[in-house]
Each structure stands twice: as C-alpha cells, then as structure tokens.
Amino acid sequence: MKKWLVSVLFCLLSSTVFAADDNVQHTPNTTVELHTNSNNEIIAEFTMAPLWHIYWKNSGEIGQPTQIKADGAEIEALNQSTPKVHTIYDVLHEYFYDNKAYFYLKFNTLPRELQFDFVECNNICKPESVHFNLQANQKLDDQNFSAVLAVAEQTFPQKITLLSPTAKNILHTDKIGDKPVDFIPAQSEVVDAESVVLNDNSISWQTIDEQRLKQALILTDDKAYLADIVYDDTADYSPIYIILLAFFGGVLLNAMPCVFPILSLKIFTLLREENRTSSPWRNAMSYTAGVFVSFMILTTCLVVLKMQGEALGWGFQLQSPWFVGTMSLLFFVLFLFMVEWLPFPAFANDFIHKAAGLNEFTTGFFAVMVASPCTGPFMGAAIGYAFMQSTSEVYLIFAALAAGYALPYALIELYPERVAQFLPKQGAWMQKVKTILAIPVLLTAFWLASVWFKQISDVYFATDDSGLQWQEYDAEKIENLNAQNEKVFVYFTADWCLTCKFNEKIILNTDSFKQFAQENNLHLFKADMTEQSEEYFNALTSYGRDGIPLYVYYQNGQYKILPLFFSVSELKK
C-alpha cells in the first residue's frame, strides 16, 4: 500500500515538474529545449549526454533518422546543424549529432503538439520520443530566440541551390569554391553510395529505382553546404548559351504587355522633337545607360537580400506597397502632363521632364522598373539559372538581359530619320496621338492603385469570375495527386504582373481551356505572389524559375514547364 502511494506521489510530482516547464523535455540521455518567437518559428535545442548521440535526417547505414511531427500545422525545416560523419571499418557510414544539435523550424501556425522521435545510441541504441504541448504553455521570447539562433547558426550548413540536368544526376560546384570532400544525400536509400563521384568542380551519382534526390549535404575541408537540387534543362547548357538566352529574352521583353505604358512614353518622347538633343549617339547611349543602371540597382538589391536569406524574385519591388503607391502616383502625374490637363510652372515642368522619364536616361531607368515584373520568352530559364550561380555570373547574365532590352529603342534613337519616314509631318494630329498614348499610362496608374489598395487592405477575393475552380497552392496535395497520375495545372501569378493578367484573358479564361479542364478533371492550383510569400517563392525556385508568370502541367506522374504563351493543344500532347 505504501509503495503504491509513493509511486502515485512520484508520478504527480514528475508531471508537475514537466508542466511547470513545458518547453523542456528529457529522456535518460537527451534533453530537448524549445525556443519560440512570435513568428511561429521554433528552435529545438538537443543536448546529449557524454558518449551518446542521435541521428541526422539521413542516418546512414546505421541508426534511425530523427523525425519531427506537428499536430495541426505544416512544418518547414529552415535548417539544422551539420552532422558528424563516422565510418566504421571503411564500410558502414553513419551521420549523427553528439553534444549539441539545433533544429530550426517554421510553421504556418503554431502547432498544438510537437513530437520528436529519435534513437539515442552509445554501445546500445534506444528509441525515444518527446512530446510538447505548445498550446498549454507558449513561451514567446523574441530576444532569447535571437540569441539562441545566433549560436545555432554557427552550427548550420550554408544553404544553396544547385541545378542538375533533368535527365542526369550531376551538380556543377563552381559556386562552392573549394573541392567537395563528401556528398551526403538528405534522403536515405535514394542514391547508390558506390556511384558517387567527386571531382574538382562537379559531383555525379546514380539513383536507386530512378528516384530523384532533392537535397544533399556537401562538405569541403572547412565548410558545409546544404544544397537544394533543382532539375532543369538549362543546367545542361554552357554559360555562353545562357547569356545569349538572356540577351534575346531582353529583346523580346519589349513586346510584353507590361511594357506597353513605357512604349507610350517612348513614342511620346520621339514626338517631342524640341526635347531631343542633336546627337543620336548621345540619345542612344543615354537611354542604354538608364536601362543598365536600373538593371544593376535591382540586381544588387536582389543579390544582397538573397544573401540575407530573403525569399525574393525578379519583380520583387512591386511586392512593396510603398513602391506600388509611388509608381501609381507617378504614372498619374505623367498622364496629366501628357494630356496637358495640369499646367506646370516652368521649374516644375523641367523637374517632371527630367524625373518622370521624358528624357532618354530616365525613360530607360523607369522602363526597367515597370517592366521587371514581366518574364518574357527565354527570360525565365536565364533568370532562374542566374541566381543559382556565383555573384559574378548573376551580374553577367543580367547585363546581357539589359543589353537585349535596351537594343531596340537604342537603334531607333540612332536612326531617327528612319522612324520619321513613317510619321506624317507635325500638325494638329500630334495632339490626338499624344492623348491616345496617354491612355495606357492612365490605365497603368489605375491598375497600380488597385494593387496598392489590395496590398494595404489585405483584400483578396477567393471568387473567380472565369468559372474555373482554383485551389490555393498546396505542395503536398499536388505531390499526392501526381503520385495518383492525376492531371494538375499550377499557376504562379500576382496582381502586379500584367503579363499574368493578359494571359488570363487570352488563355486561361477561354472556352477551350475551360473545356479541357472539365473533360480531363484538371486540378487547378494558384500561387498568388502579390505580397511576399516565402512558401510560394520556394515553390517557384523548385521549378528552376525566379519570375512570373509560370505554368506547370503535371501528367502521368511527370511535370513540364509550359511556354509563356502556351496553347491548349500543348496540354493535349
């Protein structure tokens, strides 16, 4: 009787201790402490007893991977500590943590319960599990979280993205710098360990049963990299080919719908002969310089922000309400100026002329700012490739894109007399033409204003007047449907992407597309990137792309990226 009473009291006391500090749990040889912030991020700090260890996500040929389960939430593993590599008798490999390990997790909403399943080993191994009730005792401490994260980051591998050709398993590791000394797949039983070949600038391997490796740990003599592997056909091409791709993509960008208002400004500038200098070369070089400066500023911002871990892609500035609101006001002022409805004093007229893009340099500068949300033919592959290479290659590819974009209008500036042959002599007709050219500028101002209003009010309408049943992007659901050989169509879009809206009118909202969707039980998913979304951006880059629109079609367990202006006939192939 006394033994029973002692046992009950001990259990009650133990449960009281655990309840008092629910962010710490213990097993005989491992202590797990959670650190939570107000952004639904959690760092799980594992402390192992001396001579004991637990295993990485791929345990190797011994042990069992550490698994994380969340009740009522989706888990995104942002990073985790670099494991130790241990080889036994030159035959068996294991990847484990001893002493300390950190798991950096993010959730769409804080889970009700969080569970860690792992095996702790010494000479013997024991399966263990710890449970946390986060709803019962949430401890949100941003300051402490930041301090722990600073320590944890010292143990994390550097996250990078590398391209592999779709039909091959090979990574070019020029981006890493030092020669790889070890290559550890993050998925177990996917790679044939005997097939891995490490060269100075590449890693190749063979998979088991035609599986696809998604992530791997790459170790050099003094650094660790966690590489997300993107499979893309462009990875098979030389940098020269990608540069040419970017150049022609820049040329074709001039024909994209989002450039129409800028085209109006360009033509308007040509018609105002009193504002033109006498040197065609000076005009052409000034416009080209404006394009290059604008491209380089945007590229530098992207490079710096990506180095800081921001999930941003091409056209990122239009995810900012401040930028969109400013551009909307600027285009409205431009409209008033073009139709001469607003008389400006001489000093103000001169300021507007210089700042609003009515001379060659500022025309080129603002042409890039507004056109950047567009992804024209060839551009998607080139931009996606660029941001998976070294910084110097990023700038080289975007310089080629800038050169292509500047070329058509620069040629017009160089040979204005050729353009003059197709224009009537100056007269009253020019005022009507200027008014017509002002209409796209006004429409752009209204469009940007509507995007700005949605961004500041978080008003997004779930209804779709096209009659199509779109679902919100869900990677897990898409993967499950693809595994069942269902047909899936994925659309990456944003309200600030004019090409997206243009394609909706001429492709997605047509009767032929609707009919195809109904007849083939097509599952439609939409990722709306009007506001910054790390989840959607990561999904975008997983297809080797960095800009929108993007259309992905799943069929027979495989997917293909559709052209920018695709037709329904391409879905029937």
- Model pLDDT, residue 97: 95
- Are the C-beta atoms of residues 51 and 96 closer than 8 Å to each other? no
Residue 549 DSSP symbol: -
- Count other C-beta atoms under 10 Å from residue 47's C-beta: 14
Domains in the chain: boundaries: 20-153, 158-231, 239-457, 470-571
Q: Where are the alpha helices (DSSP H) in 21-64?
A: none
Q: From residue 310, give the alpha-carbon distance in Å to each of 103, 225, 304, 537.
A: 19, 18, 9, 10
- Model pLDDT, residue 417: 66
- Model pLDDT, residue 81: 96
- Model pLDDT, residue 403: 92
pLDDT digits (tens, 9 = 90+) for 241-300: 888 888 988 888 777 666 666 666 666 666 555 445 557 788 788 888 888 988 888 888
Q: Return the beta strands (E) in 122-205 as ranges.
A: 125-133, 158-164, 170-172, 182-185, 197-198, 202-204
- Are the C-beta atoms of residues 204 and 189 closer than 8 Å to each other? no
pLDDT digits (tens, 9 = 90+) for 39-85: 889 999 999 999 999 999 999 888 889 999 988 788 888 899 999 99
User: Which numeric CATH code is attached to 20-153?
Assistant: 2.60.40.1250
Q: CATH fold of 470-571, please?
A: Glutaredoxin (3.40.30)
Show Cβ contacts of residue 520 under 8 Å, excluding neighbours closer than 6 positions: 487
Phi, psi of 58 (to 5 degrees): -115, 110
- Model pLDDT, residue 174: 75
Q: Cα–Cα distance between 107 and 74 in angstroms, integer?
A: 6
Hey, what amino acid is at 396? L
Closest CA to 111 of 130, 136, 77: 136
Q: Cα–Cα distance between 275 and 485 in angstroms, integer?
A: 61
Q: CATH fold of 158-231, please?
A: Immunoglobulin-like (2.60.40)
Intrachain domains 20-153 and 470-571 with the same fold: no
Q: From residue 326, give the alpha-carbon distance in Å to each of 1, 321, 349, 356, 497.
A: 79, 8, 19, 12, 17
- Model pLDDT, residue 165: 79
- Model pLDDT, residue 156: 95
- Are the C-beta atoms of residues 185 and 58 closer than 8 Å to each other? yes
**pLDDT < 50 stretches in the chain:** 1-20, 274-275, 347-349, 352-353, 355-358, 459-463
Q: Cα–Cα distance between 495 and 18 in angstroms, integer?
A: 49
Which two structure tokens, joined as six digits, stand for 568?
């329904």
- Taken in order 67, 70, 73, 79, the sign of the CA dihedral is negative
- Residue 137 parent element (H or E): none
Residue 37 DSSP symbol: -
Q: Cα–Cα distance between 341 and 408 in angstroms, integer?
A: 31
- Model pLDDT, residue 8: 37
- Count other C-beta atoms under 10 Å from residue 259's C-beta: 21
Token pair 């960008």 is found at: 253
- Report pTM: 0.58
